[in-house]
Amino acid sequence: MKLCIALDNPSREENLKLANEIKEFSKDIWLKVGFRSFIRDGREFIDELKNMGYNIFLDLKLYDIPNTMADAAEEIAKMDIDMFNVHASASKRAMKEVMQRLSKFKKRPLVLAVTALTSFTNEEFKKIYGEDIDKKAVEFAKDAYEAGLDGVVCSVWESLKIKEYTSNDFLTLTPGIRPFGESAGDQKRVANLNEAKKNAVDFIVVGRPVYKAEKPKEIIKKIFKEIK
Ligand code: C5P
């Protein structure tokens, strides 16, 4: 299981401070750069993190018409990043077009599809997508698998079922991790490290429990102890 830290701090300086503080683990850690950081700090910041040795997950959750998504995916593939994501609900056709467009790159980033945001309650999700999360998340995952993506973003609670219906090698990346039972915040479908392990998760994403901690390095050491 790999650890991915969400760099969701309010400023570039704070994100950089965290990245420097935990640099000794850079080879083993993935940093997730999301809307906030990317909109504010752009690709230069990503290059800076890359130069520190980190693997980068660009979390922009692309959602648009197939051609626009594929255009964006191509631009992302030209950057030095290791993984990015799209919304599965943009359609299997859109995901196929993204993968087709990326096929011309010798080395391309891993591509994941978001199934259901971990902040959704089942009721909220059903109102939008018309089905229960556990059923629809598996359908989205099957679409992503058939479209040639590398894996999905889901909650810990769908990981095993998704692998069962796709493949054991189909990656699951799960946000909403509260390593040692910390507060959920706005997340609804949270899980701790043991639960993630039991559900064969490939990547855990941890945000607030690390970047808001007084001693992030200590938390990371504790997490590694549990997952390695
Ligand atoms: O602070 P916390 O650990 O809840 O951070 C989770 C991170 O994962 C946030 O950056 C959030 O945008 C992201 N994320 C998520 N649910 C998804 C996809 C991404 O929480 N389905």
Q: What is the structure's pLDDT at 135?
A: 96
Q: What is the structure's pLDDT at 51?
A: 96
For the chain, list the domains and their CATH numbers: 2-227 (3.20.20.70)
Alpha helices in 52-190 (DSSP H): 66-77, 92-102, 122-129, 133-146, 156-165
Q: What average pLDDT does the segment 79-92 reach?
A: 97
Question: How far, in Å, is the centroid of ligand 1 from the Cα of 8?
Answer: 9
Banded pLDDT at 212 (limits 50, 70, 90): very high
What is the pTM (predicted TM-score) of this model?
A: 0.94
Banded pLDDT at 162 (limits 50, 70, 90): very high
Tell me the CA distances in angstroms from 82 to 56, 85, 107, one per residue in order.
5, 11, 10
Closest-lying ligand 1 atom to the alpha carbon of residue 211: 1
Contact between 140 and 130 under an 8 Å Cβ cutoff? The reply is no
Closest-lying ligand 1 atom to the alpha carbon of residue 212: 1
Does residue 1 register a pLDDT over 90?
Answer: yes
Ligand 1 lined by 175 (C-beta under 6 Å): yes
Question: How far, in Å, is the centroid of ligand 1 from the Cα of 117?
Answer: 8
Q: What average pLDDT does the segment 137-150 reach?
A: 98
Closest-lying ligand 1 atom to the alpha carbon of residue 155: 21
Report d(CA 45, CA 172) in Å as an integer: 26
Does residue 94 register a pLDDT over 90?
Answer: yes
Active site residues: 61
**Span 44-69, pLDDT tens digits:** 999 999 999 999 999 999 999 999 99
Q: What average pLDDT does the segment 103-109 reach?
A: 96
Q: What average pLDDT does the segment 99-116 reach?
A: 97
Question: How far, in Å, is the centroid of ligand 1 from the Cα of 118?
Answer: 7
User: For the chain, percent helix, then strand, then coil, each to nearest 5?
Assistant: 50, 20, 30
- At 137, phi and psi to the nearest 5? -60, -40
Banded pLDDT at 175 (limits 50, 70, 90): very high
- At 57, phi and psi to the nearest 5? -110, 110
Max intra-chain CA distance, the chain: 46
Question: Assign residue 215 a region: left if phi > 0, alpha if psi is -120 to 50, beta otherwise?
Answer: beta
Kindly report the average pLDDT of the chain as a whole number.
96
Does residue 187 register a pLDDT over 90?
Answer: no
Q: What is the SS3 assignment for 83?
A: strand
Q: What is the structure's pLDDT at 181?
A: 87
